[in-house]
Every structure is written in C-alpha cells, then in structure tokens.
Amino acid sequence: MTRPVRASGILLHITSLPSAFGIGDMGPAAHAFARLLAGAGQTVWQFLPLAPTSTFIGNSPYSSPSAFAGNTLLISPERLAEEGFVSWADVDAGAEQFREAAHGSGGSHGSGGPVRFEAVEAHRRVLLRAAWERNRHQLAMDTAYLRFCRGNAHWLDDYARFTVLKDRFGGAAWTTWEEPFARRHPDALALLDVQEAAALDHVRFCQYLFFRQWYDLRAACTDLGVRLVGDVPIYVTHDSADVWANPGYFRLDAEFAPTHVAGVPPDYFSATGQRWGNPVYDWDALRRDGFAWWVRRVAHNLRMADIVRLDHFRGFAGYWEIPAAEETAINGRWVDAPGMELFGTLARRFTALPLIAEDLGVITAEVRELKATFALPGMKVLQFGFGGDPADNPDVPFRHDVRSVVYTGTHDNAPTRAWFEAAPAHERARVEEYVGHAIAPHEAPGVLLRLAMGSVAELAVAPVQDVLGLGAEARMNTPSVAAGNWAWRMTPDQMDPGLYAELGRLTRLFGR
C-alpha cells in the first residue's frame, strides 16, 4: 500500500498581490510569490476563480459574465511592455494615481493598499485599447493568436458577441436586448460578426493576452514544483454569456427569466436561508447532451490549474431549488441532481479527476457516497472545528481523514487572529484545551497552522493572512455583506521570505 503524498500550500488570490497598478496581477509579484512558495517548501498555490468581475456586481470572482473567460484586470502592464504589446508610456499613463494612493512602500514588487476596482478598470481599458491598436494589423499573421482563437472558439466567440452587445445596449441585461439578439437569430449574429468584426477581435485579443500571461505563470510554477489549485463555482450568473449562449441548459421561461433559482435552506445561521439568485440547471437537457457543457468547463479549468476545487459540491447530489418569485429561500425544495452520471462521464473523459469537493456544512449520505465513489477529497476548516459536539463535528482535528484538504480558514472566514478574538469564550477555551496551553490572539494563527500541518489530511492550506498573522483588516470576504469585499492586498514587505521561514520549518517537521 502506497503512502499518501503529504503536501501544503497557501491560499492567495491574484488580486491580493502587490503591484504598482492598483490590483495584483500576473506580473513580477506573481512570479516572485511562486518562487517564495518554493523557497518555503510549499508545493501548492490556491486561488479564487479567475473569471471577469464587475463593479456592478460587487467585484466578486464568484459572479461573472463568463465561466470561461479570464479577468483582464489581472493582465500585467509590465509584462505587456516587456513583450512589446504596449509602450512604457502607455503603461504609465494614468498609473500615478495608484502609486499615490498606495499604503505600502514602492519596492521591487510595486505597492499594496486595497484594490481600487473602478480606477483599475479605467486604466486597463485604456491600456488594452492601446495594445489592440498597436497590434491589430499583425494578428492575421500571428499563429499563436490564431491558434488560441481556434482552440477556444466554443466559448470565445459567444463571449466576444456578448461583450460587444452588452456595450451596444448600455450594459443592460441580455434578456432586454432587441429580440433578434436576445433570441440569437442566426441572421442577426451573422450581421453582427461582419459589422462589429474589429470590436469582436478586440475582445478576443484581450483574452489572448490574459491566457498568454496565465500560461506563462503556470509554466513557471510547474518548473518550481508548485501546483496550482483553481476554483469553479457550481452555478453561473444569469446575465452571462453562458446562459445567453446556452439557455436550454437552464430552467428559464419563455422570456428567458429564471423559473427557479439556487440557494440554501434556512439553518442555524439564517432563518430565511440564502437566495443566491443564480438560475438552476436543467439537468435533463444537460444529460441529453452528454453533459458536454460541463465536460468543456472542467477541461478548460484543468488546463488552467493542476487541481480544481468545486464550490458547493453538495449541489451535484441534490440542490435547493427556489421559485424565482420568492424573495427568500424559505419556500424552496430539495431536488436530486445526477451527480453520479455527471462524474461518471467526467471519469470516462479524463484519465484522472484532480478535483476537491467543497463539502462544508450539512452533508448528506448521498453527497458522501458521490465523493467516495470518485475518490474526491473533501474540505476541513479548523475554524469550524471547536464548536458544537466534537463527536458530530467533522472539522475537529481528530476526525480528519487522509483523503481531505485541511484549511485554517477560507476566503469567506475572518483571518484566524480576528476569528479567535471574536470567537465565543467556550470555543477559545476548547482550542486552548486541545493544544494544552493558553493562547493570546496573536498566537492563534500559528496554533491553527501547526494543527493543519499536523493533520492526517493529505493537503494542508492556509490563507496567506494566517501565515502572516494578520487580523480583521486583512479579511477578503464577508458573506452576505454586499460592499467592501475582495479588495485586500499584500504590501511589498509582506513578500519578505523571512516571514515564511516558520511555515517552511513546520512543513519539514510534519513531513509535508
């Protein structure tokens, strides 16, 4: 019997890296962080979805107009200039605002300070337009660009159309567009392809730049022995290229409005449950098509990362379906989903299924069976491990299993220092009893990091905030709070390798 491979890594979204241009990107700091990971003995870098975001929907990477496209805000201006796509004057135009506003020092990896999404969007829009104008006449002879367009045509062409039409109709939801475009009349789309050829190619070109930089970063991580862990939300946004291009895969009415939406039922944390609002899938339609859309989606993400985390995994076994007219999640119902068929199809399509099942919360026997059938590791979160009855708590350290991924916390949790400060007294006491000594709040991140490293779970992951011992000021996301999320960034001095020495020591100590 072979021993499981023990590994560890850090959770850090790309936007949270320092840079001189208002947001973390795929430039020098990303490559430096990959080297930092390798130097600290870490073999995993986990990040959040890389899909496009929008200030109109809270900048969440989990709410996107595309499940396939890349977020062009993450394109590195420096690398564009280094490769000759733009001039350094193009890069600097308007960039002084980010340096002036940054809270961190300059340094070789730029500045920190929270992401200023609106300013970043404006800067990237101008910069990418400059890149397009400089390169557009050579694209017909650029074999790499043409190969990218052919290989991604199954999503790229409709994403380009969706983006151009969104602009034409002033950002309005696709269901309100002129009927020939909302209903995708072939003649209307053919005319669009001719009339807006340049605008469509501009969108394709920006995606080409994103994926060019991403695969460069992925190759650098592979050379360093660092595996990338991506993230795939189970649902997609209604106002997206995915639903517009594939309405038959979703529960929609004759006017393309959702008949039912996704969410979770009332529980201890919410008397009315959570009404997410995403359209639910028409699983019968997906089944008739051999789950082709899901196969393409998983294949796409496995090209971008070595491992993929599936958010809300329990929805593949059964999901909470809410009539769209309901304002809360109270009057929903559980509906079975064909997870066994879907993952059976995926298992036949791929030689391996390097997936992580996000199985937090109340999990049923059907979910456990689905996970076990396809040998998918689940998640354990130590911040959840010290409440309730230890006999029924799957996150308490002594109940971990090898085939799992243990986290100190996730992007939805407060940093461990802040969690410990705000935790009920009995939970703090239980942590102290478990480790055998009193704990000051500033010591809590190190305590949970040590517990994660010592867990039997095959993979241990900590948000970088916990490695650095940061507090509430460094929180990435607060669920159910609409504003102020996703903006935290590291400062350049937090990239100092000396700050990760203890992480490297624990990695060696616990055989990771």
- Rounded Cα–Cα distance for residues 71 and 163 (Å): 13
What is the per-residue DSSP string for 436-480?
TS---GGGHHHHHHHHHHHSSSSEEEEEHHHHTT--GGG----TT
Residue 212 · residue 145 · CB < 8 Å:
no
pLDDT category at 100 given cuts 50, 70, 90 is: low
Q: What percent of the chain has pLDDT over 90?
A: 89
Query: What digits encode the pLDDT tens for the residues 371-406?
Result: 999 999 999 999 999 998 888 899 999 999 999 999
- What was the pLDDT predicted at 392? 87
pLDDT of residue 102 exceeding 60, the answer is: no
- What was the pLDDT predicted at 104? 40
pLDDT of residue 201 exceeding 60, the answer is: yes
pLDDT of residue 278 exceeding 70, the answer is: yes
Mean pLDDT of 164-190: 97
- What was the pLDDT predicted at 2? 44
pLDDT of residue 192 exceeding 90, the answer is: yes
> Annotated catalytic sites, by residue?
311, 358, 412
Residue 131: closest CA among 95, 87, 69: 87
Separation of first and last alpha carbons in the chain: 19
Residue 57: closest CA among 238, 230, 231, 232: 238
pLDDT category at 96 given cuts 50, 70, 90 is: confident
Q: What is the pTM of this model?
A: 0.95
- What was the pLDDT predicted at 440? 97
Residue 15: closest CA among 140, 115, 83, 165: 115
- What was the pLDDT predicted at 481? 83
Mean pLDDT of 276-280: 96
Q: Strands 404-407 and 260-264, how do they pair?
A: unpaired
Going by the DSSP 8-state scheme, the letter that residue 313 receives in this structure is G
pLDDT of residue 108 exceeding 50, the answer is: no
Query: What digits encode the pLDDT tens for the residues 453-496?
Result: 999 999 999 999 999 999 999 999 998 787 889 999 999 999 99
- Rounded Cα–Cα distance for residues 190 and 188 (Å): 5
Mean pLDDT of 233-256: 98
Strand partners, 11: 46, 463
